[in-house]
Structure 1
Amino acid sequence: MTITQLQYVLAIAEHKNFTKAAEHCFVTQPTLSTQVQKLEDQLDILIFDRSKKPIELTDVGKKIVKQARNIVNESDRIQDIVDQQKGFIGGEFKLGIIPTIMPTLLPMFLKNFIKKYPKVKLKIEELTTEEIISRLKDGHLDAAIAATPLENEFIKERVLYYEPFVAYVPNNHRLKHKKAISVSDLDLDDMLLLEDGHCLRDGVINLCKVFKDHIDDNFQLESGSIETLIKLSNEGLGMTLLPYLHTLDVQHKLESNLIHFEDPSPAREVSVIYHKSELKMHIIDALFNEISGIIRGAIAFSNVKIISPLAK
């Protein structure tokens, strides 16, 4: 049994196709098939049910894939040990960022990080929290930046900052006269929300549930982006809540629509998250330190109340 054979097994399990798996592993399809067949012969079992289209794992194959993923991860740790011993920070690093964090945080740190660590080949994807958790568990992401806590046994969280929510209240809205608002002022009946699948939406709903035992899911209007929510709010269709960093991009003429919360301000916790196997920690540490150093100058809030991003 070899690490290479296990890598081939994991590729087939992911792609459910021998040809695609071979392309992913940069080998010919006969080479990959021969090595997997050798492993099955050695173990005297079938890992894959080749009669199914697409290919499926057998019951014992599912157990083997789970263990193979652990073994391959542990073998990757050897390179991590060598890199850290040499003080080398480089190589491919796959980072996921949720949509409500990507447009504000990424421009703040990306240029500096690339300049400081030119040997790191960053591959950044905008993904939902659900997609991030799945890819971290499967080893398809090295780390991610997301709203926490997520309470997932496979994932470790390292808090970067706490980002308060700020109300965006258009003209002629019932709260427009207030200098500061409280959570009890919020009503989902006149609030614009992000569409289902965004953790920010769940956070806002959880915030409003503090003062209501039951909330119907018949919201007035939903959108896929914060920018669209602002535009719809300007049309008088309701108010919305913005993460603090998004308020920095609000046009000067619209700043009067921003109303802060009374202390303690509701806020989201933003963290670097990664698999509990802790691979590529030297790059994760570098990423964490770079973002932390920059964000301290942008967010100075401390008296906040963290709102969970978990759907309830």
Structure 2
Amino acid sequence: MNIKDLRYFLAVAELQHFGRAAEQCCVSQPTLSGQIKKLEAELDVTLLERTNRRVMLTEIGEQVAVSARRILREVDTIQDAARSSHDPLSGKFRLGAFPTLSTYIFPSLVPKVKQSLPDLRLILVEEKTAVLIEKLRHGELDAALLALPVRDDFLVSQALFDDEFLLAVPPEHELASQKSIDQSVLKNHRLLLLEEGHCLRDQALEVCQLNGIAEEQDFRATGLETLRQMVKAGSGITFMPRIAVQAEEANIRYVPFTHPAPVRTIGLVWRKTTARQPVIDKLVEQLGG
């Protein structure tokens, strides 16, 4: 068994087509097919169910694919570590962020990184917080932008900035004319919130619970932009992080809270055992500046 055969096998498993897999691997189809048959013979199992129209993984093929992905991730990690030992600011760097942050921070971050770290290949991953933490723990990410605190003995974090919450209301709403409002005022209102799994929902619920604010039960958005459009349509009010506030928006008004305003602290999180500390230090400098 060799690494190249595992890459061939995974290409077919993911594309479900020998021809496209061969093209992706830059080899001829007979070469790729022959190497996979060799792998099956070596393992004495059938990994792929072949038909005239498609290719499917067998049950044992599914199990081998899971292990193969893990092995190839480790191989990539070894290769990246070797490259970065010669130039610690080069190679691939996998950075994650949760959806209610990534949309607004990635576009400005990428050009900064390209300018300051021209030899670094930044791979961006958008996932919910729980998924990002698992990917960090399993070495699938090098670092992630998360709302702090993150309580995990395997991880370390650096606070970058506070992202204040504003109240988003339609222009005709009774609170739209206020220059600022106290959180307690919201006891008489229901808030539109995101669905389960979003850390922004958890942060908003914490504010609601502290102040006796109710949630609108009949609607839960899948994303922040859906919430924004619901407010514009006059369907309710919600919390909006300042980083997501767009200038000169029609049909929506953002009202700040009086001190102390609710905030979320955004930080960079990474493994204590990371070999990419020089890159992380540069990112902290870029993001915290």
Identify the structure with the greater strand proportion: 2
Would you say the 8 A contact 2:190–2:215 is kept in 1? no
Letter matched to residue 236 of structure 2: G
Match of 2:255 among 251, 258, 282: 258
Would you say the 8 A contact 2:83–2:91 is kept in 1? no
Label 1:260 to 1:295 Cα distance change in 2 as closer, same or farther (>3 A).
Answer: farther
Q: C-alpha displacement at 1:224, in angstroms?
A: 4.8
Deviates more, 1:42-51 or 1:144-153: 144-153
Which residue of 1 is the match for residue 13 of structure 2? 13
Deviates more, 1:11-20 or 1:130-139: 130-139
Letter matched to residue 166 of structure 1: L
Letter matched to residue 34 of structure 1: G
CA deviation digits over 1:218-269, x for unaligned, max 9? 03x858554x75566466543321213234x444999984222643734254
Which residue of 1 is the match for residue 42 of structure 2? 42
CA distance in 2: counterparts of 1:206 and 1:123, whole angstroms: 32
Letter matched to residue 255 of structure 2: L
Matches within 5 A, 1:266-285: 266-267=263-264, 269-272=266-269, 281-282=275-276, 285=278
Which residue of 2 is the match for residue 70 of structure 1? 70
CA distance in 1: counterparts of 2:159 and 2:47, whole angstroms: 42
Label 1:231 to 1:46 Cα distance change in 2 as closer, same or farther (>3 A).
Answer: closer
Letter matched to residue 245 of structure 1: I
Which residue of 2 is the match for residue 296 of structure 1? 288
CA distance in 2: counterparts of 1:14 and 1:188, whole angstroms: 52
CA distance in 1: counterparts of 2:216 and 2:251, whole angstroms: 31
CA deviation digits over 1:54-75, x for unaligned, max 9? 5333333333223222322222
Query: SS at 1:106's partner residue?
Result: helix
Matches within 5 A, 1:135-214: 136=135, 144-147=144-147, 158-161=157-160, 162-169=162-169, 170=171, 172-174=173-175, 177=178, 179-182=180-183, 185-186=185-186, 190-193=190-193, 199-201=199-201, 203-205=203-205, 207-209=207-209
Query: SS at 1:238's partner residue?
Result: coil
TM-score by length of 1: 0.67
Would you say the 8 A contact 1:136–1:143 is kept in 2? no
CA distance in 1: counterparts of 2:168 and 2:189, whole angstroms: 15
Which residue of 2 is the match for residue 58 of structure 1? 58
Which residue of 1 is the match for residue 117 of structure 2? 117
CA deviation digits over 1:75-127, x for unaligned, max 9? 223322322321243345555544432343234433221111112234546x4
CA distance in 1: counterparts of 2:135 and 2:18, whole angstroms: 23
- Give the length in aligned residue pairs: 286
CA distance in 1: counterparts of 2:129 and 2:180, whole angstroms: 37
CA distance in 2: counterparts of 1:50 and 1:143, whole angstroms: 39
Letter matched to residue 293 of structure 1: E
Q: What percent of counterpart residues are identical?
A: 28
Q: C-alpha displacement at 1:136, in angstroms?
A: 5.0
CA distance in 1: counterparts of 2:151 and 2:19, whole angstroms: 37
Q: C-alpha displacement at 1:23, in angstroms?
A: 2.7
CA distance in 2: counterparts of 1:152 and 1:18, whole angstroms: 42
Root mean square deviation, CA, Å: 4.6
Label 1:252 to 1:89 Cα distance change in 2 as closer, same or farther (>3 A).
Answer: same
Query: SS at 2:100's partner residue?
Result: coil
CA distance in 2: counterparts of 1:2 and 1:86, whole angstroms: 26
Which residue of 1 is the match for residue 128 of structure 2? 129
Letter matched to residue 208 of structure 1: C
Label 1:265 to 1:196 Cα distance change in 2 as closer, same or farther (>3 A).
Answer: closer
Query: SS at 1:100's partner residue?
Result: helix
Query: SS at 1:11's partner residue?
Result: helix
